[in-house]
Chain A
Amino acid sequence: MIPGFLPALFGHFLVFSLLSIGGAITVAPDMHRVLVGEMAVLTDAQFNASIAIAQAAPGPNILFVALMGYQAAGLLGAAATLGGILLPATTLALAVSRWGHARQDWLAVRAFKSGMAPIVIGLLVATGWILTAQTPGWTHVLLTIVTAVLAWRTRLHVLVMIAVGGVLGALGFV
């Protein structure tokens, strides 16, 4: 490994962190440019696998960032990328959350919360739609709709629904 590689990796991810409005996945194209292009520490296949594994595995999808660092430079690489993506964003989130909470009676703060609420909920529906629409075919869209209704109206356990989806998929129904 080239000396100064880890700090450079950390530095890149500090910047990605501040650009990642809507989640780290939104700066994936930039990560690709740096890791696969400029630095050439990952192959295309490794890059795509990082995203796919983090999405399939339990846990927040942000962990794909750690997988990229891990494949590029082992555990220290994972620490550099995950630490870099978390540090600025979490500090900012904490500061803003405290600021807003201390002023929750302010008109501006209440207007922000009320105004953003329907947009945030619309974004969740959009996220679900994009996740299911990226696969061709219709059976998985049906499965998504049935799951949405069950999650909305029943207390059926999340893991039961995930398991049923996995079995249906493994048997080739979706």
Chain B
Amino acid sequence: MPESPDAPVVGDPSATPHGIDGSTPTRPRPESLRELFLTFNWLALQGFGGVIAVTQRALCEQKRWLTREEFVDALAIGQVLPGPNVVNVALMIGDRFFGWRGAFTAMAGMLVVPLVLVLALTALYDHYSTVPAIAGALRGMGAVSAGLIVGTALKLATALRGNPMGVGACAALLGLTFGAIALLRWPLPWVLLALGSMACTFAWRRLAAAGA
């Protein structure tokens, strides 16, 4: 994958090959629980049709609290565990900086204001969901949010360059996952189990062979 022109210097994969926290001493971090709350609140309010894309952008590129590798790591844990992925990611990131108080603050930041908004919109929805212009606007916004998610994936793919499995194997796994989920519509838990165990075993062997 070509490097994105706006790749942050802090997120350079060569600087932190395994995304180990604290390997960059000058790494920005949230200064207070208040900043954590407001950041997650503001990014959630920009997340129409899903929050993954804006979360990656805000945390890796604007705030630079974590590298792309660390974001992918958090997402991997969020993905194999039950529960809303993006809430799990918020929780882990908040916990990383401020312990359980940070976890709770990040989660609350992501949920509270959007929850109030969504409850208020329920009343409007009944009246306006059948208006053609509104239905069309929602469709257009949906197409854009789908594109934002794909764009996020393209950016995160740069994090695969340092992967011990090699770029070819990574591309194959990425393609197989896409095919199984998007085209064949196989159930996610089975795909994760089958491809995930294969990939992790392969990565294990590569890492062990490298003597790491």
Contacts and interface: CB of A to CB of B under 8 A. Distances in A.
Interface string B80-103: 111111111001100110001001
Interface string A18-41: 111111101000000000000000
Nearest to B18: A110
A169 B48 CA distance: 15
Contact of A144 (B50, B78, B146): B146
Interface in A38-66: 49, 52-63, 66
If over half of A's interface residues share one DSSP class (helix, strand or loop), that class is named, otherwise mixed; here it is helix
Interface string A106-150: 011011111111111111111111111101000011011111111
B207 A110 contact: yes
Interface string B104-144: 00010011011101110110011001001110111111111
Interface in B122-179: 122, 125-126, 129, 132-134, 136-157, 159-160, 163-165, 169-171, 173-178
A100 B88 CA distance: 14
Contact of A165 (B110, B126, B143): B143
Nearest to A19: B82
Given A132-B143, A169-B138, 16 more contacts: A24-B84, A53-B122, A61-B84, A66-B119, A93-B83, A101-B96, A110-B203, A117-B160, A119-B199, A121-B160, A126-B181, A127-B146, A147-B146, A151-B53, A151-B150, A154-B6
Point out which of B91, B150, B196 has the most chain A C-beta atoms below 10 A from its C-beta: B150
B72 A58 contact: no
12 contacts: A21-B82, A49-B126, A56-B121, A58-B114, A59-B118, A66-B115, A121-B174, A128-B147, A128-B149, A151-B152, A152-B154, A165-B144
B110 to A, nearest CB: 6
Contact of A58 (B6, B46, B95, B201): B46
B interface, by DSSP: helix, strand, loop or mixed?
helix
Contacts of B80: 21, 116
Contacts of A145: 147, 150
Contacts of B15: none
A7 interface: no
A150 B6 contact: no
Interface of A: 17-24, 26, 49, 52-63, 66-67, 70-71, 78, 82, 85-86, 88-90, 92-94, 96-98, 100-101, 104, 107-108, 110-133, 135, 140-141, 143-155, 158-159, 161-162, 164-174
Interface string B1-30: 000111000000000001111000000000
B74 to A, nearest CB: 8
A67 B48 contact: no
B52 interface: yes
Given A21-B192, A86-B87, A126-B178, A111 B204 contact: yes
A173 to B, nearest CB: 8
